[in-house]
Chain A
Amino acid sequence: MDDSRRPQPVGVELDGLRKEFGEKVALDGVDLTIEPGSFVVLLGPSGSGKTTLLRCVAGIERPSSGVITINKVCVAGPRTFVQPEKRKTAMVFQDYALWPHLTVRKNIAFPLGSSSRLKEKRDQRVDDLLDRVGIAHLASRYPNELSGGEQQRVALARALAADVGLILFDEPLSNLDADRREQLRIEIATLTREAGATAIYITHDQSEAFALADRVGVLNHGSLVQFDTPENIYRHPKNAFVTRFTGVAGEYPVVAAKALDDDYFEVTLPFAPSHSFKALGVDCQGDSPVLHFFVRASGVLLDAPGRDEGVCAEVIDVAFNGRGYEHVVKVDDHFSLTKVFSVRRFERNANVKVSFDPSACFLMPAPGKGMS
C-alpha cells in the first residue's frame, strides 16, 4: 500500500460509557483504552452489549452517559455529540449493509465522495481495492447478484476505501459458512493491519476472537469483565464467566480443596474421590461459597486404559476434525468432558484413562451454579 495514503491509526478511549434502552441497561459504565494501531476484539454472548458499544463508538447510538474519545477528541460526552459522518470511522456491518441499488464499484467508491474532480483518483483507488479483496471481476454486479462471501468482501473494501484511522467490525463473519469464515478472517486480519488502522471487532466466537485480536475484551451484561491478550485470557481467566465463555472441556463442583504453597490448590472432585487434582486458584481466598473446577480442552490428556495414572472413563462420542479426533468422555454417570482432543482415535464405548494438565485447570467461585 502507498504509505502516503496510509491513515494515521487513532486511539479510542471509553470512560464510564453507559447506555440504557428504557429500563434495560445495555452498557453499564464501560472503561476502556485502546492504543492506536491495535486490533481489539470484543467478545461476549448475545445481549452482552458489544454491538451497542460499537454503535456508540460509530455514533449510530447516543450513549446515556460517559465519554467517548477518538484520537484525543471527545466525540460523545455530556455536552458533545459528534455525528457519525464527522467521526472519520468506517464500519463492516453484520448484514453487510450494501446499497442494493448501487453496483459493487459504486458501493466501494461511496466513502470517497462524489466530486467529479476526483473521479480519476477515486476510480484508481476502487480498482486497487477490488484487486486487493479479489473481486475485480464483480465490479459491475449488484449486491443481490453476489454470494455472502463476495458481499462481505465488498463491505470490507468499502470500509478500507474510507482511509480512516478506525475501522469497526460488527460480527462480519456470522452469516458465512465455516470455510468462508476462515478465509475472510485471514483477509480481514491482513488487510486491516496493512491499512494501518485501529480496529474494533465484535464477535461471540472465541476462536475468531483469539485468532484476530491483539487484545480481547470480554463483555457480560453490559460490563467489561476482562481485557487482555488472548493468551492471558485463555491461561488466566478472571472469573467463571470468562472461563466458560472462552471454552472449557468440563466444569465440576468441588468436594474439597486445599491451598498449596503457590497459587495452586489440591482439589477433590465428586467423580474421583480417591484422586486429587491440581488447579490454579482464582479468587479463592476467604470463604468462597461455591467453588468449581474448570478444565480447558487443551488440558485433558486421553490415554489407553492400561496406564496407571488418571481416572477411568468411557468414550461416548468421537468426531474427526481433520487434525485428529475430538472425543466426548464420560467420567461417571453425571459428569463428562467434551472436545477432548487426541491424534489417536478412541472408539465409542472404549475405556480410557483421563488426566488433567494443572496449568489448564482452574479453581474459582461459580456464582449461580450450585453443587449438582
Chain B
Amino acid sequence: MFNKLRIGKKGENIIFGTFVLLYIGWCVNSPDMNIESLKSVLTIGLSVGIIYGLVALGISLIYTGLDVVNFSHGEFFMIGAFAGLTMFNLLGNQDWIFNVFPDAYGWIIYVVCLFTAFVSMGLFGVFIERVFLRPLTKKGGGYTVAGMGIIICGFGLSVVLINVAYLIWNPVAKPFPAELGLPMEIGGLFLPITYIWMIVVGLSVAAGLWFFLNKTKMGLGIRAVAYSKDVSNLVGINVPLYISIIFGIACAIAGIGGTLVGPTYQVVVFMGYIILMKAFAAAVVGGFGNLPGAIVGGFTVGIFETASSFYISGSHKDLYAFLLMIVVLMIKPTGFFGVQVKMKA
C-alpha cells in the first residue's frame, strides 16, 4: 500500500519526459499563454485534481484492501454530494445558526455538511458491502481474482444507485449555494473561494488518511489485511470487520469529494460516472494501488486537463484525462509510483 516511492526505469522516464517537454512547449506557444492565465489554470487544475485524487484514493484503497476494482465508486461520490446538499437545505432555513454566528454561519453550515457526507457515506458504504458484496464472496474465493462477480456487481450497483437517486432527487441539476465569502481574484479571473477550500480540505483528508493508516492500531490492522487476509486472521484480526471498515472509509472519502465540488459546480444525478472514469485515469497515472500516487495522479490529471482545455482546445475537455492515461499506460505502465504487482481482478 505504501510502496517506497520508486521512480521507474530510466528509459521509460526519458521517453515520458520528452512527451512532457513537447506538451509544455505546445502550451507555451499558445497565444493565451501568460503568467496570469497560468496562475488560474494551476488553481483550477489543482482544485479539480484533488477531487479526482480523493475518488482515486478510495478506488486504490479498495483495490489494495479487497483486491477488486469498485466500479460503483462514482455513485458514492454523487450520493455524498446529495447527502451534503440535503443537510445544507435542512440547515439553511435555521435562523438560530445565523443569530448565534452572524459572521461565520456559512462556513459552519458547510463544515457540518462535509461531516454529514463523510459519516453518512461511510455507513452507507458499510451497508452496501455487507448486504450486496459480502454474500458474493461466500461462493467465489473471497475478495480475490476469483471475485469477478463483485466487479460485475459493482457495475450493477452503479446503475441501481443512479436510478434510485433519480427517483429521490429527479434529474434536474441542483445548485448548492454555500455562502463562503466573496470570490478571490487569481490571475485576472475571479474564482469562487471554494476552489481554495477544495484543495485545503482535500489535502487534509489525504493527510488524515495517511496518519490513520500509519500511526493508529486500526490503521496497522488495515495495512495487514491489505497485504494478506490469511496471516491477518492468524494474528487475531477480525478480517470481515476490517474489510467493511476499508470499504466504508473509501466511500466516506468519496462522499466528502462530492460535497466539496457541490458549491463550485452543481449537484446532479449523473455526476458520478465521469468522475469515476477520470479518477480511474488518475489512479492509473499515479500507480494503481499506491495511495500517495492516487493524489499525485489526481493533481496531474487535473492540471493536464485544465491546461489543455485552456491552451489547446476547450471543446474537448473530457478527452484529455483519458489521453494522458493512454500515454502513461503505453510508456510507463506502472504509473508514477506503482510497482509491478501480481495480476488482480
Do A and B actually bind? no
State the B residues within 8 Å of A (CB).
none
State the A residues within 8 Å of B (CB).
none
